[in-house]
Amino acid sequence: MTDNITFSERLETVGDKVTLALDALIPRVIGPESELYSAMRYAALGGGKRLRPLFVLECGRLFDVPAKRLMRVAAAVECIHTYSLIHDDLPCMDNDDLRRGQPTVHKAYSESLAVLAGDALQTLAFEILADEETHSQPRIRVALIENLAKASGARGMVGGQAIDMSATGAKMEMALIARMQRMKTGSLIQFSAEAGAIMAGASDEARQALTGFAHDLGLAFQITDDLLDAEGDPKKTGKAVGKDAAQGKASFVDDLGVEGARQHTKLLGEQAKAHLDIFGSSATILHQSIDFIVNRSR
Amino acid sequence: MTDNITFSERLETVGDKVTLALDALIPRVIGPESELYSAMRYAALGGGKRLRPLFVLECGRLFDVPAKRLMRVAAAVECIHTYSLIHDDLPCMDNDDLRRGQPTVHKAYSESLAVLAGDALQTLAFEILADEETHSQPRIRVALIENLAKASGARGMVGGQAIDMSATGAKMEMALIARMQRMKTGSLIQFSAEAGAIMAGASDEARQALTGFAHDLGLAFQITDDLLDAEGDPKKTGKAVGKDAAQGKASFVDDLGVEGARQHTKLLGEQAKAHLDIFGSSATILHQSIDFIVNRSR
């Protein structure tokens, strides 16, 4: 249990740091566009587990990439993740009133500002990566941009959300659920895990190990999400539960059952750890992140 | 009149070419995400005047940038422009049912697909620019990305749209209308005009001339838009007219009157031409584009 406490503390520290980075990157502004910036700040600074930033920082540390540069990439990833949550919460999408226990952006502001704040956060992610403070070499910055675009666009995150929306009410096969989740949440987790390797020009072997780690971890993360939706405590998760089932949404729990889903996340967690063997004890915090994801209650 | 016919033909040729480029960049796909790609294609290949691509191509030609590379930048700009139109048309924004005489994306598909198709088109713009086919040098690609992000994010296009939405029903001062339009439409036109200079590493003098040209042209473009909304023919414009006034939206015509607005666009057109003097006869088509914008009926 000591390890888990240590990990939670580490995650909290990372969370504070990325919030400070985002605070500096999304300034308060005076004038007629102040509401737009306010909505962007409300969503981006409002917390969340900040697991993706942790992956960027911990995987990047394996290759001695400076923390200051990794933090900019972590902030860019969080901008993409936050924009996707704002848009996913919209009435025409998942129609969620609460996110992390707080009113969603379209509830706290307006639907139009929710659309625009999401749009501007996406743009900001690419602007952050293009800046030379992220890396001195333009070819590395452009590689980060290309990889993030591929992970978050129609072939990645947005495509996964489109499949998710199209399948509401329909019975999805397990293979399609897995594909949808790999695109919707897996691809951005994979970019988070690989970013440091891209920045350091790491070996193919190291990069493949991180790809494998991210793949198994991403799936474990999503199945745990489905388990929490099926039987979690709304006070802990900060959002309504049983929603996916009520909306007829496809879920791993439908297919595997609660016990089967739990077994599957354990297996995926062990696989994820095995991928990290080549990094030895440097990957301790990443090991702990796997336990955290498999055992989390929110 | 001969000049105008020549220009219209040139614009049509550019339009066909950029449509073909977008057709290749947004493939038809089979499978569960096919509707997303279909919505992206519907919006991006569905026409429009394609003035921004013309600016990219004609301004880039002044510096002998290869047409094939310019066409990729033109396609990226059109992806950003198209995404902004899809989102601006949404019920929570301008609530438009028609665009270019056709049902808007949320009418032809669904609101959720309209949000997602817009999101994915924005991502695609940056993915196109990051690819080495756009330019052999990473530092040029990253400069294009940085400039496009600044032009289209919270400090540019999205910020301008936020000001526009916030001001509905309120009387806006002329200076604020001008600022809003410079952000909302001017900044992307400016990027289109400057992209070739960025790609060629052109002199500050040349770049400033294009900035001045784009500034005056962008304003002339917007005032003509307001004039068409105030008194245009819906059969020609392909959209409802009198809508801005009905929604209490700020317009240059309110402030200047129809005759004053017309005079102002003429003056801006002459100023825009004067900026191009340093390019001599190479800028003939850009001169014609100014006349086209000032005199257009749609």
> A140: nearest CA in chain B?
B138
Distances (CA, A) of A216 to A148, A224, A275, A276: 19, 12, 9, 11
d(CA A190, CA A173): 23
Please, how many CA atoms are within 13 Å of residue A253, restricted to the half-sphere of its CB? Answer: 20
Q: Which of A84, A62, A58, A87 is nearest to A71 (CA)?
A: A58
Question: What is the least distance, in Å, from the CA of B257 to any CA of chain A?
Answer: 24
Burial category of B181 from C-beta neighbours within 10 Å (exposed 0-12, middle 13-18, buried 19 and up) = buried
pLDDT at B3: 53
Question: What is the least distance, in Å, from the CA of B282 to any CA of chain A?
Answer: 32
Question: What is the least distance, in Å, from the CA of B85 to any CA of chain A?
Answer: 12
- Which residues on B lie below 8 Å from A127 (Cβ)? 146, 149-150, 153
- If you average pLDDT over residues B229-247, what whole number do you get? 67
pLDDT at B247: 66
Question: What is the least distance, in Å, from the CA of A116 to any CA of chain B?
Answer: 6
Interchain pair A116, B87: CB under 8 A: yes
- Which residues on A lie below 8 Å from B162 (Cβ)? 32-33, 35-36, 113, 116
- Which residues on A lie below 8 Å from B183 (Cβ)? 33
Q: Where are the beta strands (DSSP E) in A14-101?
A: 98-99
Q: Residue B244 — pLDDT band, cuts 50, 70, 90? A: low
pLDDT tens readout for residues A221-272: 999 988 998 886 666 656 666 666 666 666 888 888 999 999 999 999 999 9
- Which residues on B lie below 8 Å from A167 (Cβ)? 32
Interchain pair B158, A35: CB under 8 A: no
Question: What is the least distance, in Å, from the CA of B44 to any CA of chain A?
Answer: 14
Q: Read off the pTM.
A: 0.94
pLDDT at A234: 63
Interchain pair A154, B120: CB under 8 A: yes
Nearest to A32 among B113, B154, B166 (CB): B166
Nearest to B33 among A115, A124, A162 (CB): A162
Domains of chain B as residue ranges with CATH: 2-295 (1.10.600.10)
Mutate: best of B145, B163, B173, partner A, most A CBs <10 A: B145
> B157: nearest CA in chain A?
A120
Instruction: Tell me how many residue pairs between chain A and chain B have CB atoms under 8 A apart.
Output: 152
Mutate: best of B40, B109, B113, B122, partner A, most A CBs <10 A: B122
For the cut 90, the answer to whether the pLDDT of residue B240 exceeds it is no
Do B217 and B272 meet the contact criterion of CB atoms below 8 Å apart?
yes
ipTM, 2 dp: 0.94
Question: What is the least distance, in Å, from the CA of B276 to any CA of chain A?
Answer: 30
Nearest to B36 among A112, A142, A154 (CB): A154
Do B154 and A36 meet the contact criterion of CB atoms below 8 Å apart?
yes
Token representation of residue B293 = 């914008």
Please, how many CA atoms are within 13 Å of residue B139, restricted to the half-sphere of its CB? Answer: 5
pLDDT tens readout for residues A179-225: 999 999 999 999 999 999 999 999 999 999 999 999 999 999 999 98
